[in-house]
């Protein structure tokens, strides 16, 4: 089963990499430096967790791989843009990402700013370029969902809450509120957009899936905090220990490593329970869940 | 006629201001500082040239005011986001915009970054929240058009070309290439999205309208360059003379003020000609054209 998952995941990761390569403008098209830096920021790195979730949710809803690939690419572009902007000196001021110099270090700050801005536009452009759902109205709803997940009441809002919280003591509900926005919203969008590419889920099933996505989003962040506290920079491919260094509240700073690991297990259990109404079609979602909890980078 | 236009423009400007006020999240909704700064960056300023163009194009296509208002608001949010990011220290490093401190001066750089990011997401969210065209497929095409106009082959790409050109000597075609992207793409999108809210234009008419929009976009920039060279900071509401100070190539630096003014007139003439096939419904577009050419700020 694990070998089977690894093969499936590798296949999907290759698929998303190939698609991103062709969907991103070539570095030979003007403005060349901008297009080159967009490719630098997106290609050849990352676990592609959000695309894997979109593909797994697509299997649940009978979606075609062609449709899910575009949706997964759009979500990954939003994620990549957020990393480029988060790494800027006025935000986290980080120099290492996915084992490479961050975009503003490799290029310059102004270019990194425009890279993020352009990747966001491209994500929405992708969602309009081909048929991604059974009706254009469903496709409009998918765009709405991604826009909300990315915006001030989603991911960007989570970043703002994160900034406001530096140096503060948070309790668990406050930390959870931040992460539901900062990482949770986009992970949830990845799952739901993948599902909306297909058509065989009823409203109750979509609700269960959304419940699953909410919990897996939190679990992802809990594990991220544990890894940041325990891993080395080499394993992580980004600067390790920076949460503590920046005096940022994390699941580890509030709960300690041991209790944070328990919490991740509880969230996995809850996520699994949300999938109980589904038959074998949910096998990939369960496997991606395990991958998220057990990953070491 | 001029009094009539002023009244019409004032009415549309009030309409867009009221809509933006209700479409932007309240400053009392978390994250409060982000939402407050988004409102600061968007509300209470600007000529709203792009919304006026959208409304005027909507009159040509028999579009409802309700639809055009949303489309105009979305385009204005993209414009506002670009101003916030352009003013950042790593870009133009400007402290004054619309007679007020720029967003990063009034708040901080990280907040200004997130304001721009969130305004872009909100623009796309607005285009999915209600029916804006006769079919959802046309609405998808409108979103595509805005995404392309904003992205690396549109406005953000124009910014990148602008950055690459600082201190360089450009010829007229090179300068035009930059502005077709930097300001032209979004102005063109404003016109075409306004038109697509209605349904009584055929393909030939849409093509004429696009030709109009292309020329009015260039004319807008030529006039902008003349104003930057001649106006005072007080009249302009933003730092005057900064193009020359930053050693940026402009229509004035290449052509001189007198020839640049002539060019603006030639572009107006060309824009007028594109509207010849339309009857009286194009009166507002001609008036907005005059407003763009004759404005003093």
To the nearest whole number, what is the mean pLDDT of chain A? 94
Share of chain A above pLDDT 90, in %: 85
pLDDT digits (tens, 9 = 90+) for B151-171: 999 999 999 999 998 888 889
Contact at CB, B136 and A140, closer than 8 angstroms? yes
Contacts of A121 in chain B (CB under 8 A): 120, 147-148, 150-152, 154, 156
Lowest mean pLDDT among A91-100, A244-253, B98-107, B284-293: A244-253
Contact at CB, A121 and B151, closer than 8 angstroms? yes
- HSE value, Cβ hemisphere, 13 Å, CA-based, for B68: 27
Q: Tell me, yes or no, if B129 comes closer than 8 A to chain A by beta carbon.
A: yes
**Average pLDDT, stretch A19-39?**
97
Q: What is the pLDDT of residue B169?
A: 87
Q: What is the domain extent for residue B194?
A: 2-294
**Model confidence at A233: pLDDT above 70:** no
**Average pLDDT, stretch A69-85?**
98
Contact at CB, B143 and A139, closer than 8 angstroms? no
Q: Tell me, yes or no, if A157 comes closer than 8 A to chain B by beta carbon.
A: yes
Task: Count the domains in chain A.
Answer: 1
Q: Tell me, yes or no, if A122 comes closer than 8 A to chain B by beta carbon.
A: yes
Q: Tell me, yes or no, if B91 comes closer than 8 A to chain A by beta carbon.
A: yes
pLDDT digits (tens, 9 = 90+) for A189-213: 999 999 999 998 999 999 999 999 9
3-class state of residue B97 by DSSP? strand
- The larger pLDDT score, comparing residue A246 to residue A221, is at A221
Q: What is the pLDDT of residue A87?
A: 97
- d(C-alpha A22, C-alpha A45), whole Å: 16
Q: What is the pLDDT of residue A243?
A: 73
pTM here?
0.96
**Model confidence at B233: pLDDT above 80:** no
**Average pLDDT, stretch B53-68?**
97
Q: What is the CA radius of gyration of chain B?
A: 18
- The larger pLDDT score, comparing residue B281 to residue B287, is at B287
- The larger pLDDT score, comparing residue B26 to residue B235, is at B26
Contacts of B91 in chain A (CB under 8 A): 110, 113
Sorted by sequence, the CB contacts under 8 Å of residue A103 that are 6+ apart come out as A37, A40, A41, A84, A87, A97, A111, A112, A115
**Average pLDDT, stretch B206-224?**
96
CATH of the domain at A238: 1.10.600.10
| Among B31, B154, B160, beta carbon nearest to A157 | B31
Q: What is the pLDDT of residue A71?
A: 98
**Model confidence at B261: pLDDT above 90:** yes
Helix segments in chain B, DSSP class H: 2-23, 32-42, 49-60, 65-86, 103-106, 109-126, 136-150, 155-165, 172-179, 185-196, 203-230, 233-236, 242-245, 251-274, 283-294
Lowest mean pLDDT among A35-49, A87-101, B213-227, B240-254: B240-254
Contacts of A77 in chain B (CB under 8 A): none
Contact at CB, A120 and B118, closer than 8 angstroms? no
pLDDT digits (tens, 9 = 90+) for A207-218: 999 999 999 999
Query: Kind and range of the H or E element at B100?
Result: strand B100-101
Q: Which A residues 32-61 touch B at CB under 8 Å?
A: 33-35, 38
Contact at CB, B151 and A125, closer than 8 angstroms? yes
Residues facing A100 on adjacent strands:
A97
Sorted by sequence, the CB contacts under 8 Å of residue B43 that are 6+ apart come out as B17, B20, B21, B24
3-class state of residue A58 by DSSP? helix
If one counts every other C-beta atom within 10 angstroms of the C-beta of residue B61, the result is 20
Sorted by sequence, the CB contacts under 8 Å of residue B106 that are 6+ apart come out as B37, B40, B100
Q: Tell me, yes or no, if A66 comes closer than 8 A to chain B by beta carbon.
A: no
Share of chain B above pLDDT 70, in %: 96
Contact at CB, B151 and A109, closer than 8 angstroms? no
Q: Tell me, yes or no, if B160 comes closer than 8 A to chain A by beta carbon.
A: yes
To the nearest whole number, what is the mean pLDDT of chain B? 94
Q: What is the pLDDT of residue A204?
A: 96
Share of chain B above pLDDT 90, in %: 85
Measured between CA atoms, how close is A247 to chain B, in angstroms?
Answer: 17
The complex's ipTM works out to 0.96
> Which chain B residue shows the shortest CA-CA distance from A159?
B114
pLDDT digits (tens, 9 = 90+) for A265-281: 999 999 999 999 998 88
Angle between helices A109-126 and A65-86 (to 10 degrees): 160
């Amino acid at each position: 089963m694990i070998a089977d998952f690894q093969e499936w995941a590798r296949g999907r990761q290759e698929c998303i990499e190939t698609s991103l390569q062709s969907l991103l403008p070539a570095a030979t098209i003007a403005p060349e430096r901008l297009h080159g830096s967009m490719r630098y920021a997106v290609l050849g790195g990352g676990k592609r967790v959000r695309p894997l979730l979109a593909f797994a949710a697509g299997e649940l809803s009978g979606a075609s791989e062609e449709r899910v690939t575009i949706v997964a690419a759009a979500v990954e572009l939003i994620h990549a843009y957020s990393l480029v902007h988060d790494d800027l000196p006025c935000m986290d001021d980080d120099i290492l990402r996915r084992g490479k110099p961050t975009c503003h270090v490799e290029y310059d700050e102004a270019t990194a700013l425009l890279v993020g801005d352009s990747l966001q536009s491209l994500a929405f452009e992708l969602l309009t370029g081909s048929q991604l759902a059974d009706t254009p109205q469903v496709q409009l709803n998918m765009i709405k969902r991604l826009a909300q997940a990315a915006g001030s009441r989603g991911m960007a809002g989570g970043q703002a809450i994160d900034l406001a919280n530096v140096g503060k003591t948070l309790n668990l509900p406050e930390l959870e509120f931040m992460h539901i926005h900062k990482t949770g919203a986009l992970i949830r969008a990845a799952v739901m957009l993948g599902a909306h590419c297909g058509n065989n889920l009823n409203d109750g099933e979509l609700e269960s899936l959304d419940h699953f996505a909410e919990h897996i989003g939190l679990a992802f962040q809990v594990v991220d905090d544990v890894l940041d506290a325990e891993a080395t920079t080499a394993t992580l491919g980004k600067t390790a220990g920076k949460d503590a260094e920046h005096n940022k509240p994390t699941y580890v700073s509030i709960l300690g490593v041991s209790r944070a690991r328990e919490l991740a297990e509880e969230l996995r259990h809850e996520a699994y329970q949300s999938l109980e109404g589904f038959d074998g079609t949910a096998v990939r979602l369960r496997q991606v869940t395990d991958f998220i909890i057990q990953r070491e980078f």
